[in-house]
């Protein structure tokens, strides 16, 4: 029987690839995000359920869970880059709200009713595992995601549920485009050079594709991954 799968931030990038991979595998997929047109584009006739939701809003997140899901992928996240001195309290709060609090609200709402074989998966980042210049708020939030995942993993283990994080390096999505634009503006360099800087620390020497991230999410969601719990799975070409 098809499992019920929820992917937050399913309207673009990694969330879109994850949602489509689950749909391709025959699962019953629900996607959510703020831009419902983008969600419809992800669906593209695949039969997904598309729900408007801002993951920073507790009531809206709780409303997603009218019935329990078997697999929940807390993917929505993001933030503005900037040196610590240029990071306003508003930028800090906005980054933590979507990248960390959104994951907390999603995982917390997912637990009631989730049964044996349930899978909680958060999209972390290599920034969950190491710091980086100009991303203090984002890295703090992504480190927080890992602490959350590792703690939840211990709480749910006895119920036959796992909780893990997938931690990608730079992935070819709108987020990478925005990071490249920031580099172009700060350093006065061309787009190609900025893109190459994004994957300079990736030993494979290219951006990761959203589909490569989705493959790791599907592995963690599989029955065979039942003993993988509280893990941070790097999808970074060996960067970390
Ligand atoms: P995108 O910007 O393409 O996707 C971000 C998604 O999150 C969008 O679909 C957006 O939808 C959704 N989102 C943002 N804010 C909210 C909100 N408040 N409520 C609901 N949904 C929201 O970037 P990616 O696909 O790259 O990012 C997906 C995840 O992967 C993020 O957690 C990101 O931190 C992580 N990641 C990305 C990497 C990269 O290099 N691209 C590397 C490592 C991790 P909408 O605006 O419609 O709400």
Between CA 144 and CA 101 the distance in angstroms is 9
* Tens digit of each residue's pLDDT (9 = 90 or more) over 82-117: 999 999 999 999 999 999 999 999 999 999 989 999
DSSP-assigned letter for residue 205 = -
Instruction: Tell me the average pLDDT across 13-34.
Output: 98
**What are the residues facing 4 on neighbouring strands?**
28
Residue nearest to atom 19 of ligand 1 (CA): 54
SS3 198: helix
Distance 101 CA to ligand 1 centre (A): 14
- Intervals of CATH 3.40.50.720 along the chain: 4-169+209-234
Ligand 1 pocket member 78 (CB < 6 A) = yes
User: So what's the pLDDT on residue 37?
Assistant: 98
For residue 207, which atom of ligand 1 is closest to its CA?
40
The question of whether 199 is a catalytic residue gets the answer no
User: So what's the pLDDT on residue 14?
Assistant: 98
Residue nearest to atom 25 of ligand 1 (CA): 13
Name the pTM for this structure. 0.99
User: So what's the pLDDT on residue 67?
Assistant: 96
For helices 210-221 and 13-24, the axis angle rounded to 10 degrees is 50
Distance 194 CA to ligand 1 centre (A): 20
CATH of domain 4-169+209-234: 3.40.50.720
Distance 153 CA to ligand 1 centre (A): 23
Average pLDDT, the chain: 97
- This complex has an ipTM of 0.99
Between CA 91 and CA 188 the distance in angstroms is 24
Ligand 1 pocket member 54 (CB < 6 A) = yes
Ligand 1 pocket member 50 (CB < 6 A) = no
Between CA 226 and CA 211 the distance in angstroms is 22
Farthest CA pair distance, the chain:
54
* Tens digit of each residue's pLDDT (9 = 90 or more) over 111-139: 998 999 999 999 999 999 999 999 999 99
* Tens digit of each residue's pLDDT (9 = 90 or more) over 53-63: 999 999 999 99
CB atoms within 10 A of CB 206: 13
Q: Among candidates 10, 81, 75, 13, which has minimal Cα distance to 48?
A: 10
User: So what's the pLDDT on residue 93?
Assistant: 98
Instruction: Tell me the average pLDDT across 31-54.
Output: 98
**What are the residues facing 163 on neighbouring strands?**
120
User: So what's the pLDDT on residue 123?
Assistant: 99
Confidence of residue 237 (pLDDT cuts 50, 70, 90): very high
* Tens digit of each residue's pLDDT (9 = 90 or more) over 148-207: 999 999 999 999 999 999 999 999 999 999 999 999 998 999 999 999 999 999 999 999
Distance 210 CA to ligand 1 centre (A): 11
Ligand 1 pocket member 79 (CB < 6 A) = no
Residue nearest to atom 8 of ligand 1 (CA): 9
């Amino acid at each position: 029987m098809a499992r019920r799968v929820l992917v937050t931030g399913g309207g673009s990038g990694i969330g879109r690839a994850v949602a489509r991979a689950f749909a391709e595998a025959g699962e019953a997929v629900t996607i959510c995000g703020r831009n419902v047109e983008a969600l419809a584009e992800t669906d593209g006739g695949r039969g997904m359920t598309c729900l408007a939701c801002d993951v920073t809003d507790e009531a809206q997140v709780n409303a997603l869970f009218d019935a329990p899901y078997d697999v929940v992928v807390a993917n929505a996240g993001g933030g503005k880059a900037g040196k610590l001195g240029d990071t306003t309290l508003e930028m800090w709060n906005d980054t933590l709200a979507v990248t960390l609090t959104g994951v907390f609200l999603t995982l917390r709402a997912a637990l009631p009713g989730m049964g044996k074989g349930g899978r909680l998966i958060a999209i972390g980042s290599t920034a969950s595992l190491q710091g980086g210049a100009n991303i203090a708020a984002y890295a703090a939030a992504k480190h927080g995601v890992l602490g959350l995942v590792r703690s939840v993993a211990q709480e749910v283990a006895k119920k036959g549920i796992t909780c893990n994080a997938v931690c990608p390096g730079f992935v070819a999505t709108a987020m990478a485009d925005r990071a490249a634009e920031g580099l172009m503006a700060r350093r006065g360099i061309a787009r190609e050079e900025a893109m190459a800087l994004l994957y300079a620390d990736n030993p494979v020497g290219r951006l990761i594709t959203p589909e490569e991230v989705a493959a790791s999410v599907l592995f963690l969601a599989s029955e065979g991954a039942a003993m993988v719990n509280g893990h941070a799975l790097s999808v970074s070409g060996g960067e970390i």
